[in-house]
A and B are shown apart, each in its own frame.
Chain A
Amino acid sequence: MDSKLFPEGVQRCSFGQFLIWTAVILGFFTWGLYAAVLVLYNGIGTTGLDNYFGFGAWITFDLAVIALGAGAFFTGLLKYILKIKQLEKIINLTVVVGFICYSGAMLVLTLDIGQPGRAWFGYWHPNVHSMLTEVIFCITCYCTVLIIEFVPLVLEQKQLNKIPFIHALAHNMHVNMALFAGLGAFLSTFHQGSLGGMYGVLIGRPYAFREGFFIWPWTFFLFVLSAVGTGPVFTVLVATFMEKLTGKKLVDYKTKALMGKIAGTMLSVYMFFKIIDTWAWATGYLPSVGLTFDDMFYGLVYGKWLLYTEIIICGVIPAIMMITPSIRNRPAMLYIAAILACIGVSINRYVFTVQTIAQPALPFDSWQVYAPNWVEYASSIMIVAYGFLVLTLVYRYLPLFPQERELNN
């Protein structure tokens, strides 16, 4: 029915199947939308957040998706600035995934702030000392850059591209894409870093506070490294998931392995510094404020197992797997490593958000346990559904995978 709109020379499922699939996604989306409307109408009291946990599931979700969306800027940087040609096989997908992650994060933030109508105050009354101001600037600017990077893909839609003006526009945008890739890389690096810096500057929160370099605490650099160490393989996972779902080959394995190699290298660098940082924090900073390493952990939800899982099982192990060619070249192994790395970065973002404020800084205070409620889950699922929806439409109608034709013939 809509086959005229498909990219050149590819097969897509029937319109009926497509409708059923979209309806399922829309079901989840609507549930989340209902939660979002409740939050906007009734207030954030509807969530599981409280005076103890001003930050919670939404911020964890935001930080995690933004880290995982880092494939966009980092792959763009390598492809356009360092001219690694192989990456053009997957660059479209990284842009779309990045766009979904960033725009999704911004939607969640609108729900998360108590006065969404004042969101623009970050530009109007900026506090240059606040890492969050940097985040607000970078996230909005970078989201714009991602839209600019996304547009040529839309313009390349088969029917649209027949119009000479649009064809020329798409071509020109492509030619200048290096500029946006550079700008995006700059903005996104700062943004990822500021998200880490946000926690590192919390002088009252010993779990997160770090000394640093110039105005940036170490967490600034650790967040950048952890994002570039996982973002690229997250895109690989998305591509593979789409392959399984559609039963087609979309990206050749050589490209995936290259992404694995890039992520593995960055993850190794990250792990090196993360371990030093954790050591210095535990043996230097904590004793200096009268605390011990053990004081930072409590029970199961805030246990040390989180730290060890993050660093060893979801850090060192996948890093080794991805930098070792013989392991990396076995698809199953690469995917396992990629999944571990993505879990690791999510744990990192969780502990920095929740454990940081759960740890009772006051000696006579006690640990509090935070549990998000359905409103927070549902609105986060809405964002995931939104991501599925965008990917579905992009896959069906836009030339997302340049190799698809040749790989499936």
Chain B
Amino acid sequence: MQIKEFKIKWGMVIDIDKCTGCGACMVGCQVENNIAPMTKNDPYNYVQALTKDRDEASNKLKTLTWMNVYELSNGQAFPDHETAYLPRPCMQCGNPACVPVCPVIATDKNEEGGIVSQIYPRCIGCRYCMAACPYHARYFNWWDPLWPEGMDKGLSPSVSVRPRGVVEKCNFCHSRYLDAKNEARQNDEDPMNLADGAYNTACAEICPTKAITFGDLNNPEHAVHDLAKGPNAFRLLEKLGLAPQVYYTSEREWVRKQGDNYNADGGGHGAPSNSHG
């Protein structure tokens, strides 16, 4: 397996024991990145009336949620039952499953700190990358994006709005990275050596319990550098070898075991309960 390494490696460490599953990260991501909400009716589409309605937000399998919170369970009965919440952005894999499959190089693992980019005007919408990503981190624009009246005024000018028919995903709030680098240049600092916290993602910033820490995994001055090496740190699906740049940490063993396919007890998918969104 070929793992792409660059000087800077932006990554996240998410403390599952601190996460309360409040969903603020999902909302922060939604707003920061101009992610269209699901609206049932499209007032501009007259032919829509001839077919089924557009999906609304209750259909979690058609919504766009670059950041998604999963609910984990230890599978025990009350009173031993425990739950945990696992926020899941794109893992920005070192050996991404999604990049080599794209026929048109619309997605790439690039030198911008090892972030896996997505070029919307080039994507043909074949969804091969979605089929390839085991983390379900990629989302397709099933419908024309639509913002309820008034909400369109809150769109961020830094982030492009994606049209129908292309795949999109978390890019660690790339526009914030550009802003941070520009600010460093203005202050005569080295944009290739940003201080810890100079570039932060929306989800990490909004998290009320500070469960998400963001930074350069290669830089010893950044908190994530040590956190990712902590005794309880783990990555999702480590065995498949995609080498994510997102780490999780939990003191609970059953949580860590659910991070990877674990067959010591004879059954891989031991957890009976979970949910999307």
Q: Which residues of A contact B (CB under 8 A)?
A: 38, 41-46, 49-52, 54-55, 112-115, 118-119, 121-122, 124-127, 129-133, 135-136, 198, 201-206, 287-292, 294-295, 356-357, 360-366, 368, 375
CB within 8 Å for A125 and B105 given contacts A112-B126, A202-B131: yes
CB within 8 Å for A292 and B263 given contacts A115-B166, A121-B124, A364-B72: yes
How many Å lie between the Cα of A43 and that of B145 in the bound state? 11
| Contact B239 A127, beta carbon cutoff 8 Å | no
Consensus secondary structure, chain A interface: loop
| Contact A204 B268, beta carbon cutoff 8 Å | no
| Contact B131 A357, beta carbon cutoff 8 Å | yes
Chain A residue nearest to B259 in the complex (CB): A363
| Contact B240 A203, beta carbon cutoff 8 Å | yes
Consensus secondary structure, chain B interface: loop
How many Å lie between the Cα of A46 and that of B101 in the bound state? 26
A130 to chain B, nearest CB (A): 5
| Contact B128 A132, beta carbon cutoff 8 Å | yes
User: How many of chain B's residues touch chain A, expressed as a range?
Assistant: 35 or more
A397 to chain B, nearest CB (A): 37
Q: List, sorted by A's number, 23 A–B pairs whose CB atoms are closer than 8 Å.
A: A38-B50, A41-B47, A42-B51, A43-B165, A45-B143, A51-B136, A51-B140, A54-B140, A55-B131, A114-B123, A125-B106, A127-B102, A130-B103, A132-B102, A205-B97, A205-B131, A205-B134, A289-B240, A291-B263, A361-B240, A362-B134, A364-B271, A366-B274
A219 to chain B, nearest CB (A): 14
Chain A residue nearest to B275 in the complex (CB): A366
How many Å lie between the Cα of A201 and that of B131 in the bound state? 11
Chain B residue nearest to A114 in the complex (CB): B125
B180 interface residue, CB < 8 Å from A?
no
| Contact B240 A356, beta carbon cutoff 8 Å | no
Q: Which residues of B contact A (CB under 8 A)?
A: 1, 45, 47-48, 50-52, 54-55, 59, 61-63, 70, 72, 86, 95, 97, 100-106, 122-128, 130-136, 138-144, 164-167, 236-237, 239-242, 258-263, 266-271, 274
Q: Which 8 A-B pairs have the closest CB atoms?
A: A114-B125, A114-B165, A204-B134, A54-B127, A361-B134, A45-B142, A290-B261, A54-B130
B141 to chain A, nearest CB (A): 7
B97 to chain A, nearest CB (A): 4
A365 to chain B, nearest CB (A): 6
**Neighbouring B residues of A365 by C-beta, 8 Å:** 70, 136, 274
Chain B residue nearest to A52 in the complex (CB): B61
A324 to chain B, nearest CB (A): 40
B173 to chain A, nearest CB (A): 21
| Contact A291 B261, beta carbon cutoff 8 Å | yes
Contact of A202 (CB < 8 Å), options: B1, B52, B61, B97: B97
How many Å lie between the Cα of A315 and that of B269 in the bound state? 30
**Neighbouring A residues of B236 by C-beta, 8 Å:** 362
A40 to chain B, nearest CB (A): 10
